[in-house]
Amino acid sequence: MSEPDAQRCDAGPLGSSSVEPSARQAVNEMLDAGLLDAVLGKVDQEGLALPGQGGFLPELVKAVLERGLTTELSDHLGYEKGDPAGRGSPNARNGTSDKTLATEAGEVDLRVPRDRAGSFEPRLVPKGSRRAGGWMR
């Protein structure tokens, strides 16, 4: 068995199947590409913090949430950012609002996209929420 195969994630904790196949596949792709090894190397060599303010985990959560929110807004508007199909649309992107969200990984400062009509209701991080919902469990 090669070293990357030995490190692959084939099951959840204690052999449970609580990890969804698509999540498992994503983790395995990161392992195969050496991305997790590179991050953990920075933890050892450069003192990169994993949890807490400014740590890797909150920054990763921030990147995932902001990418998801941007995708949600594109779905809501019906076109991607910069797409000529959006020209002349009755609704458009209108910058972002800052929001601090408490997560299990630490506090995350998000830039939540908004639309001109104010009709965008994000599902990933609902308006008014200050704590991450059940999706973090």
What string of pLDDT tens digits covers the 137 residues of the chain? 344 444 555 444 434 445 567 888 988 998 899 988 888 888 888 888 888 888 889 999 999 999 999 999 999 999 999 999 889 899 999 999 999 999 988 899 999 999 999 999 999 999 999 998 755 54
Classify the C-alpha dihedral 38-100-125-18 as positive or negative. positive
| Helices assigned H by DSSP within 49-126 | 56-77
Alpha-carbon distance of 22 to 25, in angstroms, equals: 5
Alpha-carbon distance of 110 to 94, in angstroms, equals: 16
Which pLDDT score is estimated for 11? 43
Classify the C-alpha dihedral 67-68-69-70 as positive or negative. positive
Encoded tokens for 14: 């204690």
pTM value?
0.75
Which pLDDT score is estimated for 115? 98
The residue ranges of every structural domain in the chain are: 3-46, 56-136
Which pLDDT score is estimated for 5? 44
Dihedrals phi, psi of 84, to nearest 5 degrees: -60, -20
